[in-house]
Amino acid sequence: MSELVPGGNLPLPGGTLTLHVPGPFDVSALITDDSGKVRGDGDFVFYNQPTAPGARLQGEKLTVDPPALRTGASRVTVVVSPAEPGTALGRLPAPTLRVTGPGGGVLARFTPTRPQQETVLLLAEIYRRGTTWKLRALGQGYADGLAGIARDFGVVVSEDADAGAGGGAAPGSSGAPGSRGAGVATALNAARTGLGRLRGSGRAPAGTTGRTPGGGNGRAPVGNTGTPSTGGSPASAPAPDGFLRLVNSARAAVGAPPVSLDARLTTAAHTHAAGMAARGSLGSEGADGLSVYQRLTSSGYAYLTVGEHLVSGPRDAAGFVEYCLSGEQSRRTIHDPAFTEAGVAYVPDSRSGTLYWTALWARPLTPGGLAQTAAEVVALTNSERTRAGLRPLAVDALLTNAAQAHSADMVARAFYSHTSPDGSEPWHRAAAAGSTRRTIGENIACGQRSAAEVVQGWMDSPGHRANILKPDFTHIGVGFAGGGSAGTYWTQLFGA
């Protein structure tokens, strides 16, 4: 495997390549000829248009079969942007690209210098030299978002698309307003302003740090039809029986247990939908800076896992549920057997009449549920250690208390870091909890919705993986808290 630096390149084998960028990013690709320009909108592969000849986007992974690219194509440029529109890349960990070959072997890895205020990054390119295809690491940042990148590559981006109103799709496109069926021009105007996407369960950054007292500090990079209301009244909740019938029928079809409606979830959904309608845009954060998860916890609902659908356009509950079942990620949320309760509401934009929907899905927090989730994290961690020939870690009550306190603190004080606002580090927090272990390490993560997802995310990151597989560690404590801007906050505290 080659670790690339900006400008570095290597020849590629024949066959299909997989390019994976884990984390809170959207992956895109531009297919061009030697002029560096696309031949048409169909050469832009992104979340609203995930396929092109020889290229396919599936979540965090882009597959490219160079010989199958359209005639004349000689270059595929891989682009990453924040999954949360408008976020500067400097607020996120540096993206890491991992390229695997046809047999699944890792060919190359590239982590660029962490961008600052840029909102999009040209990460790498696959290009043809003679009869050979090569990979080149780039790491070039842009501040003008996907729309700016698209223009530079020759994609026509309409300036007069009515993204703010959530009105119809671009000519030749299909799908409800605000959906992932919109065309390139509409979608890119939407992306520039944070509109036009279904917002679903997402993944947020993870971090890791470790220290042995007396040594150095090692950090790794881290349906019934409802009548629309105009004033945000309770009438903006779809008829409960109709919504539940549709949802639970879909869940029963895949063997998932039914959900019930919860008044606190419905209240939080209504408040969030009203905020989106007032400003005419989709988003997980309101104009007051509060996330949909913070609205939920402020209603008094403590959860063990959470999911959401934020959608504009459907005119009734049947249309809303049908739309949410049409995409792989949003369908997974409706089908997720972990959820036991739900709340849904819509509010119309008073200017255009477009309906803005919020659905919240959750399992309430219980002491037993929290203990089970922590035990699952420990079991999955120990499974990775056993696979690597290492001793399993024993649960340490003091480390558990410190890890739980840190997750709760990150939610309460709205930060995400190994260093607390008061300056304390993981080893300080372990000692404050009464631990006398000499070596301490910590993994943190936010946004993951299950134990399996968070452990897999840590294992996919070299720094986190190193902590999980450190032979010296003998004990572990796990913490989890729901809320904050990311929805979930996880902590692993290791000791020896």
d(CA 377, CA 350): 46
Please determine, for residue 176, whether its predicted confidence score (pLDDT) is greater than 50. Answer: no
- The mean pLDDT of 199-216, rounded to a whole number, is 35
d(CA 417, CA 23): 16
Please determine, for residue 137, whether its predicted confidence score (pLDDT) is greater than 80. Answer: yes
The pLDDT score that the predictor gives to residue 20 is 93
CB 400 within 8 A of CB 479: yes
Indicate the pLDDT class of residue 46, thresholds 50, 70 and 90: confident
- The mean pLDDT of 432-443, rounded to a whole number, is 94
Q: Over the stretch 140-175, which tens digit does the pLDDT of each residue have?
A: 877 666 766 776 777 654 433 333 322 222 222 222
Please determine, for residue 178, whether its predicted confidence score (pLDDT) is greater than 60. Answer: no
The pLDDT score that the predictor gives to residue 92 is 84
- The percentage of residues in the chain with a pLDDT greater than 90, rounded to a whole number, is 45
pTM higher than 0.95:
no
Helix (H, G, I), strand (E, B) or coil at 27: strand
Please determine, for residue 34, whether its predicted confidence score (pLDDT) is greater than 60. Answer: yes
DSSP letters for 160-185: ---GGGT-PPPTT--SSTTSTT--HH
- The mean pLDDT of 91-98, rounded to a whole number, is 87
d(CA 314, CA 25): 27
- The mean pLDDT of 77-84, rounded to a whole number, is 87
CB 110 within 8 A of CB 137: yes
How far are the Cα atoms of 3, 20, 88 from residue 104, in angstroms, in the given order?
Answer: 17, 12, 32
Handedness of CA 38, 96, 86, 201 (dihedral sign): positive
